[in-house]
Amino acid sequence: MNIILLGPPGAGKGTQATRLVDSRGMVQLSTGDMLRAAVKAGTPVGLQAKALMESGSLVPDEVVSGIIGEALDALAADTGVIFDGYPRTEAQAHSLDTILADRGRTLDHVIELEVDEDALVERITGRFTCATCGEGYHDVFKQPKVEGTCDKCGGHEFKRRPDDNEETVRTRMAEYRAKTAPILPIYEARGIVSRVDGMADMNDVSGAIVAILDGVPA
């Protein structure tokens, strides 16, 4: 099964993708994570992406579609994939069609997380992750059970993303509205779009997504 999780910055795409990885053995392909790894490693892609990401602008379509194709080539053909943060433009949506068709894959679901944008700024500016295993936390909504210790791996170091400040978040949201939201009709025309209330409790959001994947009527 191949699915897209769609929604503005902070909608919960990464949170829900991680849960599907744990519960269903799917693989999360997050272009944001892949680009951050490239920036950290100082690769040519990373050097190209760094300033754009820090400003909240999108990285060129051919760059992200290239890394998605490479990532899929590294997976077994029957591995289920969650696309998190990709596609983000009409051009990327068309590239994804080609990338999937070339590899004998089809797109099963596009799940849109519907959210209140004003609440997202609080979500994003309060977000932090374990520096060791990447487990996500939030200052208010999801603190480690023991302060300063990761629930998942026991690590003690945490980090925050450089683009998680209010000004950059506003730019990222504007990019979403202008370039990403308009791709939904492409998938609506195929009848594969489902919507989930992304403002609900994280566990309820997970339950709604699993019900969609399992074909359980709402």
19 binds ligand AP5 (CB under 6 A): no
Options 20, 53, 93, 100; binder of ligand AP5; rule CB under 6 A: 53
Q: Is 161 a catalytic residue?
A: yes
CA distances to 9, 131, 162 from 125, rounded to whole Å, are: 11, 17, 10
Catalytic residue among 50, 88, 105, 123: 88
Q: How many of the chain's residues bind ligand AP5 (CB under 6 A)?
A: 34
Q: Is 24 a catalytic residue?
A: no
Of 119, 146, 112, 141, the closest CA to residue 128 belongs to 141
Catalytic residue among 161, 170, 179, 195: 161
Options 2, 6, 13, 209; binder of ligand AP5; rule CB under 6 A: 13
Options 20, 72, 81, 88; binder of ligand AP5; rule CB under 6 A: 88
58 binds ligand AP5 (CB under 6 A): yes
Of 2, 50, 4, the closest CA to residue 26 belongs to 2
Options 2, 3, 4, 12; binder of ligand AP5; rule CB under 6 A: 12
36 marked among binding-site residues: yes
Of 4, 1, 40, the closest CA to residue 186 belongs to 4
CB 30 within 8 A of CB 136: no
Q: List strand residue ranges (DSSP E) for 11-63, in order.
A: 27-30
Longest CA pairwise span in the chain (Å) = 47
Q: Which residues are annotated as a binding site for AMP?
A: 31, 36, 57-59, 85-88, 92, 161, 172
